[in-house]
Structure 1
Amino acid sequence: MNRTHLRKIFLIAGAITGFGFLFYLCLGDGVAFETQGLWASFANLFGILILFSQFILHFIVLLIICGRGKKGTELTLKQNWIIGIYCLIAVIFNIVLILKTTTFSRAEMSVEREWRNSEKYYWEPAISNPEGYPVRVLEGRFFISSWSRNNAFPDIDDKFYDSRWGLGMTTFISQDQGSMVMPDSLRLTWYSVVEDCYYKLQVSLDKEKITQLFKKGFEAKNHNGVFHRTYDEIIVGLAPGGDVALWVGSNWGNATEVSFYQAQKLDTIVIEPARRQEVREELTRLRKGKDWVEQVHTTDDLIPYDKWRKKYRQPYGWTLQFVKDGVLDNPELEVEFFNGEKFTLIDSTLSQKNFPAQAVPASLFLKCRGEDGKMKREYVVFDEENIYNTFEKLTLSKQEIKVIVTCKINKQGKIEQVTAQNNREEFPLILKKD
């Protein structure tokens, strides 16, 4: 065999083999071959050995194409064309083979890369329900398109929930799991106790809005002073009629609504008999407890289905201002709204706060330091019927009319009176001390 031909064959076979290996490396760290029936490490090693063993095949084929040849004899034009076509076929075959046998790992790596580039926060899923309207979650999970091998999908505990609107009962997520990307979708099935029926929700979430809310965060305060904090809960509110609210929330007195959804009512037979029996037995035990609260409705007192979707979320333009008998030391006021949102006013002077379009306030929680240095707490709840009637009277159902809510605080840090007024009349609001 002509040495020149042998050298050329060796270089071409090596170039084809080297291209295959370099193409495999260019796919990125984490890409691996998948071979059925072999452990991952052996499968990947086996795939790499196949890549390198191609050299022998290419060398033999090229040797056959070139023939024996004589010293000083050049390859014919036909032989060069055949070698070129063979090289092209070999390169294409290498690309197809590598892509086909690394599909799963490349998909995983793509998701992993997206996860690394996404903003991540520590958060826990939570369930909320209106007081007296308990629910039993049968299945619940937040789905995240970009995930890490170290992260699991956040599941929602399948149990009974008996809370109040906007207050989430969380499912524990270990800090060891680390921060998570915001969820893309939610799937949830639950039993509504008062309605005695089942609902299912499968919906895409506004991931961008949730991410921006977490990123923006809010100001919080502790004994060391004011600091920036972000949300740590994604709360799902389950109301009668399949109405579903989604909030981002925190134990630091802030919660913001993200969106509102409508779930699908399920035929009872869709639920497995064993699960239905499990729910009934568990409910029977809970109803015997002294702390169990469940609304009872009759034909004359129907469930107010639209209350959580429409009434509670109706926005008004209003301002919260304060009249103080003295200077309050280190005051902080948490405002809770009927739509489940919360806002904490951190202001040493408790100056007024404007709410251009916000739900009606449900309660006020004032904290300040007394003369003895101890923290004093004052919590008042508004009478729902009274405050809604007052807002309707003052606005005449017109959104452009502003309402001024005035909170009168005495020297001891007690809320003595709260009034609501427009530019013509003023009404005292009924307060329920808790």
Structure 2
Amino acid sequence: MNNITKYLVSLLFFIQISCQEKKDYKKTETMTKYEWTEGTSAPLGYPMEVYKGGIECEGGEWVSLGFGIVPGRNDWGAINHGMGNGFKSLPFRLDFIWMSYMENQFYMIDTPIDITTIKEYFGKGYDTKGRSGKNKHLNFDEIGVGMAPGGVVVVWVAGVGVQKEVGRYQGKKVTIPESEIAKLDSHENRFWRKDYLNEVFNNGKVIPAEVREKNKDKPIPFGLWDTYRIRYSWKPVFELPGNARLNPSINVKIFAINGEKEQFDTATGILAENQQRAIPKSIIFDYIGADNKVYGANCDLNEESGFEAFKVVFGDDPGSTRADIIVKVNEANSYFTIKVKGENGKEAFIKADKIEVF
């Protein structure tokens, strides 16, 4: 055997051993399991449904996302729960095909996701206030997969009152072969049945009638769900009348248009520092008035007005300044306003679709 032959034999042996070691590692590696359930999300008026596939987890576990239509009746990021609650390893890959009904288009995604970030969130958990007003530690217990027009996929981790974006991924258009469709039973082939599609579009349970009329003859706003993800440096600030103060027993809750939810501890000296956050869409808080009464307050912010206000303050550059979101309650404890005020001196009010003080 000459030297070249010996070298090749040795190299092949080394590769075989290395591959075997990797396989053995995968078999013997200990996977930490957490109790969580999967879920899906779709934007209001743009229903989605997984045709087949789901989430691949560490250790070879598999979680299906094919548990029915995602109507998108609520806000983007609202998770429609599956049936898979229990202890499972954490996901590292998406692999599924889904139908975007308003586009009449199937999409496929097969991509790794940011498991490092998911592990960090699940490993640390978060603190919140219990009914007693005392802090308690909770764990994340949901993983949501959002599907939006254009093949946009977003992954969130969530717990009670908290939701964090993990990443944004892109699907690609696919066509299901006629040979595959021909083998499906009467339930599986619903995606191509006119009676089923008529139900989806017109029964009012999947797409509310007012939303259907509002979107009628309008183009699908492709790209909108990526603008939701733009982050700006801001923090919430509360201006309360007289000697009023935020209720130290109940956290302030702020939901953002990108599907994230955040809680702020009202018992701390500073409510929050400036962080990169998406535009807020709703604010919930309690405060103790100068009359020593406890008031609850909440608002749903107008999306278009939110975009306009941030445009006034930040211009075309989300990193151009830092800002406060100022929530100012009137002396009569009956109303409040929301204003974006930048360190650059620019400011603008955000209109609300609903405001309650009670």
- TMscore range, shorter length: 0.7 to 0.9
Higher deviation after alignment, 347-356 or 164-173: 347-356
Shift of 1:370: 8.9
Structure with the bigger percentage of helix? 1
Q: What secondary structure sits across from 2:123 in the alignment?
A: helix
Q: Distance in 1 between matches of 2:339 and 2:100?
A: 37
Which residue number corresponds to residue 407 of structure 1?
327
Please name the residue that 1:321 is paired with: 237
Q: 1:284 is matched by which residue type in structure 2?
A: N
Residue 166 of structure 1 corresponds to 77
Match of 2:275 among 356, 360, 376: 356
Assess if the C-alpha contact under 8 Å between 2:53 and 2:65 holds in 1.
yes
Q: 1:202 aligns with which of 110, 113, 120?
A: 110
How far apart are the structure 2 equivalents of 1:410 and 1:228?
Answer: 34
* Secondary structure class of the residue paired with 2:225: helix
Partner of 1:113: 28
Displacement of 1:130 after TM fit?
Answer: 0.8
**Greater Cα shift, 265-274 or 420-429:** 265-274
Q: How does 1:111-150 map to 2 (within 5 A)?
A: 111=26, 113-114=28-29, 117-147=30-60
Q: Determine whether 1:157 maps to 2:70.
A: no
Post-superposition CA distance 1:72-103 (Å, at most 9, x none): xxxxxxxxxxxxxxxxxxxxxxxxxxxxxxx9
Contact 2:144-2:156 within 8 A present in 1 as well: yes
Name the SS of the counterpart of 2:91 in structure 1.
coil
Question: Highest relative contact order (Cα 8 Å, sep 6+), 1 or 2?
Answer: 2
Which residue of 1 is the match for residue 163 of structure 2? 255
Partner of 1:338: 257
Aligned to 1:282: 196
What is the Cα deviation at residue 140 of structure 1? 3.0
Between the aligned partners of 2:28 and 2:335, the Cα distance in structure 1 is: 53
Report the equivalent of 1:223: 131
The code of the aligned residue for 2:353 comes to K
Task: Look up the equivalent residue of 2:300 and give its one-letter code.
Answer: V
- How many angstroms does 1:353 deviate by? 2.1
**Of 110, 122, 134, which aligns to 1:214?**
122
Where do residues 68-107 of structure 1 align in structure 2 (5 Å cutoff)?
Answer: none
1:140/1:347 CA distance change after superposition, 3 Å: farther
**Structure 2 unaligned runs (5+)?**
1-19
- If you compute each CA radius of gyration, which structure gives the higher value, 1 or 2? 1
Supply the RMSD in Å over aligned alpha carbons: 3.1
Change (3 A) 1:125 1:426: same
CA distance in 2, matches of 1:132, 1:424: 38
Whether contact under 8 Å (1:219, 1:226) holds in the other structure is yes
Equivalent position of 1:85 in the other structure:
none
Contact 2:79 2:144 in 1 (8 A): yes
Give me the whole-angstrom Cα distance separating, in 1, the residues matched to 2:301 and 2:90: 35
CA offsets per residue over residues 259-303 of structure 1, 9 Å max, x none?
Answer: 11110111254661544445644343344544432647566x321
Q: Match of 2:199, SS? A: helix
**Does the CA contact (< 8 Å) of 1:327 and 1:411 recur in 2?**
no
Mark the CA change 1:377 to 1:189 in structure 2 (over 3 Å): closer, same or farther.
farther
